[in-house]
Chain A
């Protein structure tokens, strides 16, 4: 099942909440220790959604600071990996700054799970010609593939396919629909 962007953002916040809830049973952490924000790309591809949670306020006694940090980092990485769609500007394949952190999380996950495979599906909005858009969708998928490789994933784990403008995420001919359709989706198999 594919999640909409709103659903994904909600799922991300929800998962952070659950992680925070787990952390507080029998264990503790200082409020200031759980302060990092997770950023995600929202549907317009331009702005940033912030998730995060405050801690329970109970203090831990049997977890080292390193263990706590590792836990936090895992939780953050997991939350980030709920974001699997990345957006682009018209006629470009440039990965947006706000997408990088999330893609790094995916790359690390792939690096740590060498048997995991992922399909990178490149898409374009409906404007312009279908054949050029096929090539543009591929260029976007290739840009994401290169980014993941540079950050630890191996080429053998990935497969790219371009659908051009043929499979819009959102129907319609508005700026907002176009922005949501210019994308690369990571599909984990």
Chain B
């Protein structure tokens, strides 16, 4: 686990979202002793009190900063938050905090802050306090335009998360997913992008035919996906800013499972133009293809590993689908999963520690992970129709699709399988979640 210096904090704050003006107030970083490694999810959740921010006039009505921050932290599975009704006082700055009160309530950290209006911008000044040590571990002022209060709240969540765990938060990132609405008879597939809490959703593509496998470009500005809008599967790249779309693969047979390279210049694709499902690398600029697998079995769901040199993929060359790894484009594939007869759709973390995938056991489909250092497999979910795992860019949370009484919903868990949090379904089914990288 890494520990960040004060300078790193300032740098990260300044390079965050362009609509967000941020400057550090000169505070200490999370010290080594405070860095907590969460291993048990809900059981070891850290108690944090997020006190309602004081408002100094002109603050738009609507969702409150403290409740958005509270929900973000709870969603991670690593924190337990305190309802404001149970608080003994509602301080808005460090000088108003009586640590004894918060110790009585069993809290480890307290977040206090205030909001003020300055022209068309709202400024938050906030401080995170360590109750046991009675000291401030984070203090910052950040401003957004009046319409972006949620952006400000997610930014604060990121800073609090990082100050306590030593790992950058992922609450300012986005989710892409596909909803299916069959209420009016004809199916409507909608590719949507929302905040990580499901709010501020916007439809990016609507179709009567299936949309599958959205994949974020590494800069978070584009999505690649599979759309059946022509009656056959084809792969498109969609620029989110302009809405421009380019069809990049429309070969005979399958065109599926797009995954971006680290530099954003190439895509892994599954094509069957040469006979059966094989994995290819396409240079996006030139559209040149290089075939990376060659086997009579199904090879699909290719994704680059943490090094950017090798790939994980699904193949049924052993009889049923299993996860394989090639350490380079030309290396021999090595089988990774052995725990059951169905393991598919690998999603490696960015450290090279784990690979996450869909795992069948006792007739049900769950999300599992394998520790790449020793091959040990852990099943992370207990529901029976779990699909499409996607990791947050900080590797600490994982979103997947599952079924609740026949309807497809999205669920977030901590990446070690701790507490689960379901995202509110909008309309109909919601599936195919893809967690964005940190958007630059």
Contact = CB atoms under 8 A, between A and B. Distances in A.
Nearest to B360: A128
Interface string A131-158: 1101110110010000000000000000
Given A128-B342, A130-B212, A138 B385 contact: no
Interface in B221-265: 228, 231-233, 253-254, 256-257
Contacts, number: 87
B195 to A, nearest CB: 24
Interface stretch (A32-40, A57-65, A79-87, A159-167): A159-167
A91 B298 CA distance: 11
Interface stretch (B41-49, B140-148, B269-277): B269-277
A138 B342 CA distance: 19
Given A128-B365, A131-B257, A91 B403 contact: no
A63 B341 CA distance: 60
A25 interface: no
B370 interface: no
A115 interface: no
A142 B276 contact: yes
Q: SS class of chain A's interface: helix, strand, loop or mixed?
A: mixed
Contacts of B162: none
B276 A132 contact: no
Nearest to A130: B212
Given A135-B254, A162-B233, A173-B403, A130 B387 contact: yes
Given A136-B298, A138-B254, A161-B231, A131 B342 contact: no
B270 to A, nearest CB: 7
B228 A129 contact: no
Contacts of B254: 134-135, 138, 162
Interface in A17-62: none
Interface string B58-92: 00000000000000000000000000000000000
B321 interface: yes
B254 to A, nearest CB: 6
Given A91-B342, A135-B254, A166-B210, A130 B388 contact: yes
**Interface size grouping (class) on chain A:** 20 to 34
B272 A138 contact: yes
B137 interface: no
B301 interface: yes
A186 B270 CA distance: 25
A138 B388 contact: no
A135 B277 contact: yes
Interface residues of B, number: 34
B233 A139 contact: no
Contact of B298 (A135, A161, A166, A172): A135
A122 B320 CA distance: 19
A134 B256 contact: yes
Interface string B345-358: 10000000000001
B432 interface: yes
Contacts of A134: 212, 233, 254, 256-257, 270, 300
B213 A131 contact: yes
A42 B342 CA distance: 28
Interface string B189-216: 0000000000000000000001011000
B344 A129 contact: yes
B390 interface: no
B122 to A, nearest CB: 42
Contacts of A164: 212
Contacts of B301: 129, 131-132
Contacts of B388: 129-130
Contacts of A161: 231-233
A71 interface: no
A186 B316 CA distance: 26
Nearest to A142: B276
B314 interface: yes
A164 B253 CA distance: 12
Contact of A135 (B228, B270, B342): B270
Contact of A130 (B213, B321, B342): B213
B406 interface: yes
Interface of A: 91, 126-132, 134-136, 138-139, 142, 160-164, 166-167, 172-173
22 contacts: A127-B365, A128-B321, A128-B342, A128-B344, A129-B314, A129-B321, A129-B345, A129-B387, A130-B212, A131-B256, A131-B300, A132-B300, A132-B316, A132-B344, A135-B254, A135-B270, A135-B298, A138-B253, A138-B276, A161-B232, A162-B254, A163-B210
Interface of B: 210, 212-213, 228, 231-233, 253-254, 256-257, 270, 272, 276-277, 298, 300-301, 314, 316, 320-321, 342, 344-345, 358, 360, 365, 385, 387-388, 403, 406, 432
What 6 pairs across the A-B complex have the smallest Cβ distances? A135-B277, A166-B210, A135-B298, A129-B345, A129-B344, A131-B257
